Amino acid sequence: MDLFRLSFKDTPSFSAHQIKDDRVLVVDPFGSGVSPLFSSFPARHLCLVLSLRMPRHEVHDEIKPVIQYMEREASHNQADILVEGVRANGLAVSGMQETLDALGHGQADILILANGIPLGEKQRSELVRRAANTGAQVESVEGHPVLQAMGGMGALLRYCPHWV
């Protein structure tokens, strides 16, 4: 059940039920401040207190860092899955040629590209075009050193490649 739903043109729809694990979103309907109940939350919890009386632009300003954090965590999780898959010789490949081969065979489910890799615009466009042609998603990852060390790119696969 949604406690509330917020939607802005430059952010995804956001509702309280989407927050899981160690993230908590608190809505303060009367602007009375944080309840003493929330002071007992462990430090790793992310608490955001909003008043229903806040103007929309203030709500957007408050939520934007939370959404950015959640998107960054999601992309890092995808990169972690890629690294584990490559190390286990499983459903993942890394490196330019292996990624191109997986995209060419329609095996790639998610193309993962690290930001800041030395990749020309033509090469990046070709990777994204191939992903789009096969229905693969494209994930851009910022600041993942292990992915950078593996060539800065890879793909999570739909099925095990025959060449492994």
pLDDT tens figures, 61-83: 888 887 888 888 889 999 999 99
Angle at Cα 13 formed by Cα 10 and Cα 17, nearest 5°?
145
Q: What is the mean pLDDT of the chain?
A: 76
Residues 151-162: tens digit of each pLDDT: 999 999 999 866
Contact 8, 60 (CB under 8 A): yes
Contact 4, 16 (CB under 8 A): yes
Q: Per CATH, the architecture of 76-157 is what?
A: 2-Layer Sandwich (3.30)
The pLDDT of residue 25: 54
Residues 118-157: tens digit of each pLDDT: 888 899 999 999 999 999 999 999 989 999 999 999 999 9
Contact 124, 113 (CB under 8 A): yes
Domain boundaries, the chain: 5-54, 76-157
Paired with 92 in beta bridges are: 156
Threshold 0.85, pTM exceeds:
no
